[in-house]
Structure 1
Amino acid sequence: MKLAILSRNASLYSTRRLVEAARARGHSVRVLDPLRCYMRIAPGGFAMRYKGRPVAGYDVVIPRIGASITRYATAVLRQFELMGCYTPNPSDAILRARDKLRSHQLLAAQGIGLPTTVFGDNPDDTADLLSLLGPPPHVVKLNEGTQGAGVMLTEKASASRAVVETLRGLYASFLVQEFVAEAGGADLRCFVVGDRVVAAMRRQAAEGEFRSNLHRGGEGFAAEASAEEQAVAVRSAQALGLGVAGVDLIRSARGPLVLEVNSTPGLEGVEGVCGVDVAGAIIDHVSFHKNYINQ
């Protein structure tokens, strides 16, 4: 199998591990910086070049697309798809996952549990919008934030209104959600590959912090996801069209609630904590599906 990995940096842990896993299984693999790929688009003639040379003959492309380059990199990925390449995470699925509002709407439409979420645009509606959530604390999230950036906790109604008004003044797109206190500052990252959870990690927020992201000082522990949590994680990834995803859940009194579905989950934390060859599981998954398609 000839495989391409779209990544801006071949030395990143996740990219490096995917390369190692692919080569260990006898596959040909190359890392391509998506910002150095450029395309020719014409009826019946999709073509791509990379640093002056044609890009062709790849069977599979695995995207490792950072949020800052989403628009261009998903266009590159779409070009690969139009050229006949298989990808576990199609371009449209990545775009669905990156838009928190859109992904929450799609998950809710499938009956998947998530924190109650409100969204509105007009300042005249702020008080009524917040009333739909009930009393604070509230969690305010930028619609396209990553790794805990752009997530704020407001403990008073006046603070919620002030944050909402500030973000509107900056023309930012954001959501407001209920704060689920019983989660205790912890969440569960379920790493989904295909139709199963291959590893699960409990992340605990640092003292004085409500965000459990490892990039925010959170600590990770190997965890056992329940059958219900695994089913919710897989359904969430499938609802957005993702074959590889990091699904973040919180344990609430009403069952598992989905916080986010990450289309480019990092491997370092989960592999280090759980001791699972997640990179190998991803390569095995894409290899199986490419062979199935060719049959």
Structure 2
Amino acid sequence: MKLAILSRNSKLYSTRRLVEAAREHGHSARVLDPLRCYMRIASGSFQMHYMGKPIKGYDAVIPRIGSSVTRYGTAVLRQFEMMGTYTPNPSDAILRARDKLRAHQLLAAQGIDLPITVFGDNPDDTVDLLSMLGPPPHVIKLNEGAQGAGVMLTEKPSASRSVIEALRGLYANFVVQEFIAEAQGADLRCFVVGGKVIASMRRQAPEGDFRSNLHRGGTAEPVESTEEERAVAVRAAQVLGLGVAGVDLIRSQRGPLVLEVNSTPGLEGIEGVGGVDVAGAVVEHIAEAAACSG
């Protein structure tokens, strides 16, 4: 299999591991910076060049597209798709997952439970909007934030209103959610590959914080997810159309709740904690799926 990996930095752990895994399994792999890919689009004809040379003959592409280049990166990925290249995470699926509001709407429509979420635009409606959610604490999230950035906890109604007014003043898109106190600052990352959870880890927020992201100083340990948690994680990835995903769950009194579905989940934390060859599993799945699609 000839594999392309869309990544802006070939030295990142996840990118390096995917290249290593591909070569260990007898495949060729090349890292392409999506911002250096450029396209020709004509009726029934799709071409792409990279640094002056045509891109062609790739059997599959793994998108490792950062949130800051979502628009252009997904356009490049879509061009690969138009050229007949297989990808486990199609461009439209990535766009669905990146938009937290859209993702929550799609998941809830399929009966997948998540923290109660509210969203509104007009400042005149803020008080009633918060009444629809219930009493604080409230979690306020930027719609396209990543790795815990843009996530705030407010403990009083006045604080919630102030943060909402400030974000609206910045023309930011955000959602407001209920705070799940019984989780005690912990969540569960389930790594889904090809309709199966291949690894799970429990992440714990550092003292004084409620965000469990490892990039925010959180700690992690391997954990055995329950059958219900695995089923929810797999279903969430399927609803958004992702073959490879990191599904973040929170354990609540009413069962597992989906916090987020990550279309570009990092490999370093989950491989380091659990000792599972996640990169190898991703490559094996893609090789099998690409062969079937071809």
TMscore range, shorter length: over 0.9
CA distance in 2, matches of 1:162, 1:64: 36
SS at match of 1:126: helix
Deviations 1:42-74, CA, capped at 9 Å, x for gaps: 011100000000000000000000000000000
1:109-131 deviation per Cα after TM superposition (whole angstroms, max 9, x unaligned): 01001000000000110000000
Secondary structure at the residue paired with 2:212?
A: coil
Q: Look up the equivalent residue of 1:173 and give its one-letter code.
A: N
The aligned counterpart of 2:184 is 184
Aligned AA (1:114): L
Which residue identity is paired with 2:49?
A: R
- Cα distance, 1:293 vs structure 2: 1.8
1:219-248 alpha-carbon deviations (Å, 9 max, x no partner): 010011000000000000000000000000
Which whole-Å CA distance do the structure 1 matches of 2:138 and 2:293 have between them?
46
Give the TM-score normalised by structure 1. Answer: 0.99
Q: Which amino acid aligns with 2:233?
A: A
Cα separation, 1, equivalents of 2:293 and 2:150: 40
C-alpha distance in 2, partners of 1:17/1:11?
10
CA distance in 2, matches of 1:102, 1:34: 25
**SS at the partner of 1:175?**
strand
Aligned to 2:43: 43
Q: How high is the sequence identity, in percent, across the aligned residues?
A: 78
Question: What letter matches 2:125 in structure 1?
Answer: D
TM-score (norm 2): 1.00
Q: How does 1:56-95 map to 2 (within 5 A)?
A: 56-95=56-95
The amino acid that maps onto 2:165 is: E
- The answer to whether residue 135 in structure 2 is matched with residue 135 in structure 1 is yes
Q: SS of 1:176's equivalent? A: strand
Give secondary structure in 1 for the equivalent of 2:202: strand
For residues 83-141 of structure 1, what are the alpha-carbon distances to aligned partners after superposition, in whole Å with 9 as ceiling and x for unaligned? 00000000000000000000000000010010000000001100000001111000000
Structure 1: segments with no counterpart, 5+ residues: none
- The AA in structure 2 aligned to 1:203 is R
- Aligned partners of 2:149, 2:11: CA distance in 1, in Å? 24
1:256 is aligned to 2:251: no
Offset of 1:76 from its aligned partner? Answer: 0.2
| Partner Cα distance (1:291, 1:166) in 2 | 51
Shift of 1:291: 1.4
What residue number does 1:25 align with? Answer: 25
Q: Report the equivalent of 1:147.
A: 147
Equivalent residue letter for 1:58: Y
Query: Does 2:121 correspond to 1:112?
Result: no
Deviations 1:192-241 (A, max 9, x none): 00110000010000000000000111001001100000000000000000
Distance 1:287 1:3 in 2: 9
The corresponding residue for 2:126 is: 126
Q: Shift of residue 267 of structure 1?
A: 0.1
RMSD of the alignment, in Å? 0.5
Matched with 1:220 is 220
SS in 2 for 1:190: strand
User: Residues 265-284 of structure 1 correspond to what in structure 2 (within 5 A)?
Assistant: 265-284=265-284
The structural deviation recorded for 1:161 is: 0.5
Deviations 1:156-189 (A, max 9, x none): 0000000011111111100000000000100000
Paired with 2:265 and 2:195, the residues of 1 have a C-alpha distance of 16
